[in-house]
Structure 1
Amino acid sequence: MKGRVLFIRLLLAGVSSMLPAWALESPTWVVDPAAPGDHLPPVGGSLFDALFAGTRDGRVTHMLPFPFEKLLARVDAQLIGDPASLLPPAKRVLIPLGRSLQRTAAAPDYFRFPRVVVGVDSPPVPGALLLKDRLYIGYQEKSAVLEVISYNEAAGRFEFQLVKDYRAGGNPQVFYANRNICFACHQNAAPIFSRALWDETNANPQVAATLAQVGRRFYGIPVGRGVDVPYAIDNAVRRANRFALTQRLWREGCGAGEVGLRCRAGLFEAALRLRLAEGRAAAPDAVSEEVVAGPLRVSAARLWPTGLAIGRSDLPNRNPLQGLTRWPEEGAARVARSHVAARFDALLPRSPDTVWRGEAPDALAEAVVGVAEFVADGDWLRLKAALVRRPQRLASAMAAVVASPAGRSLLADQPIPRAGLIAALLTALGEAPRKSSPTLWPAARLELPASPPNSTASGPLPAALAGFHAWCAACHLSAERFPPNFLHGPAAGLEARIRQCAPRIYVRLAMARRPLAERDKTPMPPETLLPAFRTHAAAWAVSPERAALEGVVAAQLKAESGRDPDLETLLADGYEALRPCLATDQ
């Protein structure tokens, strides 16, 4: 037996020696979910801010149309609709039983108040903002909340925002979100969506039929809808999740100095040619190989020798009505259907979607395709017309941009300056750029300061409770009820708030010591956030810190029942049957 084991080890060692280095090591993540960055925009603002900014009483603020149909109409007005399609320019679906933080807000009337998810996949009308693949809105009427993900071109990233009190007679307030919370699910810093067959949406005939029985008009969104709409949103989400890769290749892949400047110019020119050819890419020429592909390979070998991993945006398909013949009348039975099992949870760490490698044959093509998603804005038709009239002038126009001080500034190490480069090219082609008004930016704000992982409380706490602040405050010390903000409030009431939440906290902490296949729910803190605490899932499962937190809530539960808590007993009626983390009067 020992000889056989030794033989297998030697065989594996021999195979390993024949593999390239990148096959033996993990790639670098394009986005590290444990490092969400500044919660407020470091520069610029979100497209949502730009779209809905206005002036009231001499102050720049958000001017949000209500009801929701009017907000959708405002978005649609920015987009070119497909005359051959009956679908609206901004795609929308209804999700009564989903996986968002707002999934329990409408309990138990999930089908009377379904969550709406909107994704933009259409190009802009001339002169409008580029919203395609860059604006996503979730609306939950019951909680009067909009959850918004939209792109910030100046920062080269997606921003996460909340609109609260969005209701008739309300005073909508827009806040930037705590990115610690967002990144737990949005692990690639971008939108996420289910993969086919999108059974949570009204593309599922059973979901559509149950919605139709309610008899409501859901914001002008047809209840009966095939898979075409969620398929369009899914495609937009997939494209959006490649933006972060494109930005890293543009900035770090091309590199610094003159080489980097010419690499970025070559990438942008190649992207324009790809757009002009309607996506039919020509084989790279010697110039592209030298100016773009070469620097990308050199930088990749130095910075990412094992490749760049793109986070997966698609979640496993989930049918919340699986096995049901009719929607139950009892509230408890309805609430049970909102349960999201661990294998479907967006908190579950996801493997990479793909890995970009500088030495791969399609490395340059992937970079060009990515940049091409940044050249189709409201001025694209003018630029396209100018280049169609004089196609041979593209190279000379780009050379003129590279030679000018303004152009060199645009091509420096920064996020892709899409609008600036297109305006510079129009000027070089003898076309007057469109005059645009300066963007109005409402004040960017958080509702409450966000706590970093492993932070300490602002005031004294008993030692047994201080650990909850250190390990939970990054997500649960907020102004939001979703996820439950049990750490928010006077220090004197913290023990009582933890006691209210004890059954759910106990389950989430105990799941860390269960094998992955036996988990009913994902553990807390989310595994993708653990590196921010300088630990990992295996270490957290056996750590004294986790055991101490579990011990606190176990003692509280024993004081209530007179016996040690047991996972099977607690979960006998399902996780959603446990008492809520927040008391109903909070």
Structure 2
Amino acid sequence: MRVAAWLALLVAAGVAMAWLVMPSNDATITTLAQTTKAPVGSVSVNQIAQTDLPPEGTRSLFDHLIAQNDGLPYPFDKLVKLLQDQHPEAALPVNVMIPHGRSLLKGLANNAHPRVLIAADFELANKAGGLGLRPRGQLFMGFVENAHEIEVLSYNEVAGRFEFQLVQNYCAGCVPRIVYAKRAICTTCHQGGGPIFPQRPWNETNAQPDIAAAIEKARGNDKPYLSLPIHNALSSPDRFDQLTDEGNFINVTQRLWLDGCGEAGNDCRRILLKLALLYRDSPGSFDPEQPLAQQLRALQAKHFPEDGIAVPESDLFNRDPLAEQRGIKGWWHKLTTREIQFGEGALNNEDLDAFEQLPKLPARLDPLTRRAPKALLRSTDIDGVYGVAALFSSADIEALSERADFQPKALMALVDKLPDTTFAPKPVSRVAFMRALLGSEIPYCCLSVADMSPPQASGEPALVIEQHAVLKDFEAHCFACHRGNPAKRLNFMAGSDEASVLARIEAKTEIRDALDWSRYAGTEKENTLMPPRDSIQYDELMATGDSGAASLQRMREAVPSLFGF
């Protein structure tokens, strides 16, 4: 009895001590979003926008990829394949599954339908026709199937920042919407404005055998989920962690380029680029104490912020959701915390009130808790060299070396020849400098927005159809591809009200032929018919039989014929 009493006393004392030392996380997302302010007066703040929508004339990497694909693939397996097809070795994107996580949509993920995270991890070779795509560390997605929503974090090359986007209504028979999320909400967790991920050993993920086994049991088999493996190796979250660290440091690199060299620091940025190219060309022989590096330190000393430049902490403390259910810790957890029932909480990323009613995680594990910087850089540090170097691909360095006859001095001479305006205080861009150094406006896939439809902000109302019933047919069979499509030429069913949408449909006379399956099926024009045979809209249309045929006829009749009879 005495031993039991002492144990009880020790447990109680330990719990009391835990409450004393535990940091507080009482603030809500809404409060944090309102109180988190960007530093004022710095060059980077003036040059890198913090608006929800991307700066005019710029778009996210995700938007460019979707526009070039002619639309958003569905289901998610096809979106995974889109990235896989881009990979030079046709490898799957880096992927992990988290059934019991910490995202806004954690209440809608479970063992049967875990949250799926994917990240691009490749760079393409440059060709005569243009620079190769380099999305490594610049494109991340999270998908919770039960929420019908994809969270997208992708880099904006021109704006020098990551964009936060949502693909809403991503489900069978739904009209998906690609929108830009409220940035202040996203950065309550993504405190550095970039990707985040837990630390090793990643007990939340399916790289842990017990988590993978729980997913397999809940799903009733070990077959891939959304074309991704249920059982994963530790190398997958390890690589995902590396990619998020790389992405997180891009934002730091922009600050080092802009704030570290200052408004008038064009000469500082020129030397920074030189050192970055030298390091990228031969990391093993790079001397961080060489005279050129000392020049950079001297120039940074003139402009560097007095309080330094912080490297935000992108690593969350490891969480072990299964251990929380075991032993004394599990007993105490169940005693003091109401378990989240599946389906509770936010149904989407805009449902903050429902999320904030859920039991809070311990502050140490909560991504909302303010995290101390990973490091604080000073003017004597030359980390900007490594950050700028990481923006260039191996193919870039090969092309520049060839241009300089494989002579480092000649490469430095190319940088010296660039006009001073090239180093004006604006975000550092791999593409911009490759064009400048090669002396050519070499094409790149993901810059021009001339052929893209306007970006949409989160919270904009969806089209409400009340007067023109035929729009219901278009909504069911056509809106998924032709309303909200980033490609301008395919976005011809856009519009804020019924009248404008119908007017745009009526002006597209090609619709009559595109919907005439009875005439053109089996002919050489079949590949122009809509909905396409490989789409879910086609399957749903054919499954309705006579009802589908009547829907096609109504849509055709809504569009005036070429001759008006």
1:445-472 C-alpha deviation (Å, 9 max, x unpaired): 213279xxxxxxxxxxxxxxxxxxxxxx
CA gap of 1:248–1:324, structure 2 versus 1, over 3 A, is: closer
* Letter of the structure 2 residue corresponding to residue 138 of structure 1: G
Q: Which residue of 2 aligns with 1:103?
A: 106
User: 1:476-487 to 2 correspondence within 5 Å?
Assistant: none
The alpha-carbon deviation at position 367 of structure 1 amounts to 1.5
Which residue number corresponds to residue 79 of structure 2?
71
Aligned to 2:163, the other structure's residue is in SS state strand
Identity across matched positions, percent? 32
Aligned residue for 2:53?
40
Structural mapping, 1:213-228, within 5 Å: 213=217, 214=219, 215=221, 217-228=224-235
Once residues 64 and 294 of structure 1 are traced to their aligned partners in structure 2, the CA distance between those partners, rounded to angstroms, is 49
Alpha-carbon separation, structure 2, partners of 1:377 and 1:49:
25
Shift of 1:69: 2.0
Q: Which amino acid aligns with 1:351?
A: A
Closer/same/farther in 2, CA of residues 266 and 412 from structure 1, 3 Å limit: same
Matches within 5 A, 1:385-534: 385-387=402-404, 389-402=406-419, 408-427=420-439, 434-436=442-444, 439-440=448-449, 441-448=452-459
Q: Quote the Cα distance in structure 2 between the aligned partners of 1:423 and 1:317.
A: 42
Kindly report which structure 2 residues correspond to 1:251-262, keeping only aligned pairs within 5 A, or say none. 251-257=258-264, 260-262=265-267
Structure 2 counterpart of 1:239? 246
Q: Report the residue type matching 1:252 in the other structure.
A: D
Aligned pair in 2 of structure 1 residues 80, 380: CA closer, same or farther (>3 Å)? farther
| Deviations 1:231-258, CA, capped at 9 Å, x for gaps | 111111112222222111211221234x
User: Does residue 169 of structure 1 match 2:183?
Assistant: no
Q: How many angstroms does 1:378 deviate by?
A: 6.2
Whole-angstrom distance in 1 between the partners of 2:195 and 2:376: 19
Measured in 2, the distance between the counterparts of 1:375 and 1:144 equals 35
Q: What SS class does the counterpart of residue 220 from structure 1 fall into?
A: coil
Q: Which amino acid aligns with 2:392?
A: V
Cα RMSD (Å) of the superposition? 2.9
SS at match of 1:254: coil
In structure 2, distance between residues paired with 1:78 and 1:380: 21
1:433 deviation in Å?
5.7
Residue 209 of structure 2 corresponds to residue 197 of structure 1: no
Which among 373, 376, 386 is matched to residue 355 of structure 1? 376
Kept in 2, the 8 Å contact 1:33–1:189? The answer is no
Distance verdict in 2 for CA 1:306–1:251, change over 3 Å: closer
Q: Which sits farther off after the overlay, 93-102 or 165-174?
A: 165-174
Structure 2: where are the runs of 5+ without partners? 1-34, 39-48, 327-337, 345-357, 462-565
Aligned to 2:393: 376
Residue of structure 2 equivalent to 1:212: 216
- CA–CA distance in structure 1, aligned partners of residues 107 and 118 of structure 2: 19
* Structure 1 residues 364-409: Cα deviation after superposition (integer angstroms, max 9, x where no partner): 2x1201111222276444334444634431022112223xxxxx33
Secondary structure (helix, strand or coil) at the match of 1:225 reads coil
Distance 1:377 1:136 in 2: 22
Q: 1:265 corresponds to which letter in structure 2?
A: R
SS of the residue corresponding to residue 374 of structure 2 reads strand
Matched, 1:129 2:130: no
Partner of 2:366: 345
Contact 1:53-1:442 at 8 Å conserved across structures:
no
Asked if 1:120 is matched to 2:128, the reply is no
One-letter amino acid of the counterpart of residue 104, structure 1: G
Q: CA deviation at 1:141?
A: 1.1
Determine the C-alpha separation between the residues in 1 that align with 2:204 and 2:405.
45
Does the alignment pair 1:310 with 2:311? Answer: yes
- Cα 1:78/1:401, change in 2 over 3 Å: farther
TM-score (normalizing by structure 2): 0.62
In 1, are the aligned partners of 2:312 and 2:373 still within 8 Å (CA)?
yes
Q: Give the structure 1 partner of residue 277 of structure 2.
A: 272
Equivalent residues of 1:398, 1:425 under 8 A apart? yes
